[in-house]
Amino acid sequence: NPDSAGFAFPEWAYKPESSPGSRQIQLWHFILELLRKQEYNDVIAWQGDYGEFVIKDPDEVARLWGARKCKPQMNYDKLSRALRYYYNKRILHKTKGKRFTYKFNFNKLVLVNYPFIDMGSSGRGVPQSAPPVPTGGTHFRFPPSTPSEVLSSSEELRSPGVFSTVARRMARGSVSDCSDGTSTNSELEEAAAADERAIGPDRAFRGLLAPRLPHESLFRFYGGHPTPAGLPRPAPRVHADPLSPFPVSPLPGPGGLLSPALSMMGSHFSFNPEDMKHYLQAHTQSVYNYHLSPRAFLHYPNIVVPQPHRPTPEKPAPHHLQAPPMPLPLSQQQADDAHASPFKFKLQPPPLGRKQREAGSSLAAAASSSNHASSFTGAGPNVGPAVGGAPPKIKVEPVSDLSEEDVEVTDISEEDELNPNSEDEEGDMFPPLPHSRHHHHHLKNGSGISPSAPHPEEDPDDDEEVFKTPATPPPGGGGAFPLMGLKTEPGQAVAPVSPGGTRCIPLKLRFKRRWSEDQRMEADGDREEAEDKKVLGLMLPPAPTQRRASSELQRATAQLSLENAGC
């Protein structure tokens, strides 16, 4: 299964919204979908801050969602539960104080995914929070609908909605459901048209350079800090050609969130050069596949990334509109690592087998003991009283367990760090993890060591701390990525787990923890590669000629969508 190639793109990227038949649509996709269609403006709309939206008619949204999923019993209560699950995943958070208002967690994701963007060496000055929507209007829409549109102006690069997808268009009609006749063909057409209109002339460049490949249908995020329209900012410092951004996900998807600064092998992060190499290879591959500008190549000191060979002798010419990205034959090594590399991490850790709580006490005990061999997270460097005894049977809060967050570790910049109080609100923040290890957890054991107490800094957002610490500025390196010391030898870098002496776990080690087999499995067993591939196959057929192709594609997909109309 050479082309599964393990790495490369996370599956969600390929089904941004639409695999035509996608009954698998995810709620947030759906929300986004509704959000971008004016028809639903009275039902749900962007409002307020960047990424913030209001569900004006909860029942209707629920109805639509239910229709889409063929779950007639859907209601807002249930839907909102699903939304709440997104909090942990960092996809969404609630805008407090505003009814039915949620917010997509963009900034973070952007940064994480676009490490190439040098947010500011200019200083931490860059305000974290997104500036008020400049759109003059009260609401904005995710502007571009096509990659080319997106890519067109630099302004756009900074605009709030940076998401773009061809797929979105394809998905058109995806709102339609199985049973209710509300959505019809005409609606679809109409929507398409409307969309077109909405896009407006501004995207003058459309088509200029964006390759419109089918697979461009991944969500992309360009740029980072949105800037008020009126305040043009110098072009973003992007290491990659802004016009040829590396396709990455705005979401915490497998692989999506990691910055090249870190690679994640299996379920642990690694600073290992080898791993990095793989990561970079993947990236490189992507650059080729997507015909991105060579400038998009990441360069890290000390790491030589073999360039993928293209079947076609063509040079990686930047603006090339065609060529199906294809899974190139991977090198042996790559192949080997294929399974290891798909870095993936879960955002919502598996509920530990806590349940039995009430029932079997003995069971619980057993469970706890087995399970936490590695459970302490906490232990910051000095703190860690290492436990002597048994790992406290604290409820292992998934998210809090660094693992997940680590994802954001990558987030180089921002975060409140500076002002912890900042709290959510504006900008990106992360919603403070809902369940951080704050309350409960009464340590039963007499150890007196409280899991939470000792690590004040350990809050969810300490990730950056974690990140910074190991930083070993590359010597002569580009300095662009201060974060990583690629030189680090695995051995030295990662302090071996000292038997018994657990304290002083190097920060890096924290990344290594995994909570369960499960996770590990998921991490590398890469599973749905099936999906990936499948979609890949579907989505990346020989790219015909760009422009028109997309419309044809649209049509085709629309049709497919319709076919699926029935439950």
Query: 472 or 564: whose CB is closer to DNA?
Result: 564
Dig out the tokens for 125 from the structure: 């000055």
Minimum CB distance to DNA smaller for 186 or for 370: 370
Q: Which is nearer to DNA, 102 or 106 (CB)?
A: 102
CA angle 410, 414, 415 (to 5 degrees): 95
DSSP conformational letter for 210: -
Burial 18-33 (b: 16+ CB within 10 A, else e): bbbebeebbbbbbbbb
What span, in angstroms and rounded, lies between the C-alpha atoms of 153 and 240?
15
User: In Å, how far are 68, 339, 530 from 281, measured between CA atoms?
Assistant: 39, 15, 21
When the beta carbons of 94 and 215 are compared against DNA, the nearer one is 94
d(CA 44, CA 14): 25
Nearest to DNA of 239, 512 (CB atom): 512
Q: Which one, 74 or 449, has the nearer CB to DNA?
A: 74
Question: Binding string, 519-538, against DNA, x = CB under 7 A?
Answer: x--x----------------
Q: CB-side exposure of 261: number of CA atoms within 13 Å? A: 34
Report, in Å, the least distance between residue 82 CB and DNA. 4
Shortest distance in whole angstroms from residue 229 CB to DNA: 29
Give the residue with the Cβ less far from DNA, 59 or 196.
59
| Cβ(158)–Cβ(242) below 8 Å | no
Give the separation between CA 554 and CA 548, rounded to whole angstroms: 10
37 or 69: whose CB is closer to DNA?
69
Residue 519: CB minimum distance to DNA, A? 7
Q: Which of these segments, 76-84, 107-115, 190-198, 303-311, binds DNA (CB under 7 A)? A: 76-84
| Nearest distance from C-beta of residue 370 to DNA, angstroms | 18
41, 60, 85, 187: residue in contact with DNA (rule CB under 7 A): 85
Contact (Cβ atoms closer than 8 angstroms) between residue 108 and residue 428: yes
CB of 289 to DNA, least distance (A): 23
Q: State how far the Cα of 103 lies from the Cα of 429, in Å rounded to an integer.
A: 11
Q: How far is the CB of 81 from DNA (least distance, A)?
A: 4
Pair type for strands 101-104 and 92-94:
antiparallel
User: Would you give the distance in Å from CA 93 to the centre of its chain?
Assistant: 15
Residues 338-357 that bind DNA (CB under 7 A): 344, 346-348, 350-351, 354-355, 357
Q: Which is nearer to DNA, 425 or 552 (CB)?
A: 425
Looking at residue 80, its amino acid is S
Q: Which residues contact 274 (CB under 8 A, 6 or more apart)?
A: none
Minimum gap (Å) between residue 333 Cβ and DNA: 26
* 78 touches DNA by CB under 7 A: yes
Shortest distance in whole angstroms from residue 76 CB to DNA: 7
State which of residues 319, 435, 468, 534 lies at the interface with DNA (CB under 7 A). Answer: 435
Q: Which is nearer to DNA, 31 or 328 (CB)?
A: 31
Determine contact, residues 402/511, Cβ cutoff 8 Å: yes
Give 65 or 271: the residue with its C-beta nearer to DNA: 65
| C-alpha 540: how far from chain center | 21
CB of residue 551 vs DNA: minimum separation in angstroms? 29
Least Å distance between CB 402 and DNA?
A: 16
**Which 14-73 residues touch DNA, going by CB under 7 A?**
25-28, 58, 65-66, 69, 71, 73
Candidates 84-92, 279-287, 411-419, 453-461; binding stretch for DNA (CB under 7 A): 84-92
The interface with DNA within residues 355-374 (CB under 7 A) comprises 355, 357
The single-letter DSSP state of residue 91 is: S
**Angstrom distance (rounded) from CA 290 to CA 540:** 11
Q: How far is CA 125 from CA 172, 181, 225, 259, in A?
A: 40, 52, 12, 21
Least distance (Å) from DNA to the CB of residue 490?
25
CB of 4 within 8 A of CB of 335?
no
Closest distance of CB 129 from DNA, Å: 19
Nearer to DNA, 25 or 276 (CB): 25
Residues in 96-125 at the binding interface with DNA, rule: CB under 7 A: 96, 98-101
C-alpha distances in Å from residue 472, one per residue of 119, 261, 464, 465: 19, 11, 14, 14
Instruction: Report the interface residues with DNA, using CB under 7 A.
Output: 12, 25-28, 58, 65-66, 69, 71, 73-74, 76-82, 84-87, 89, 94, 96, 98-101, 344, 346-348, 350-351, 354-355, 357, 434-435, 519, 522
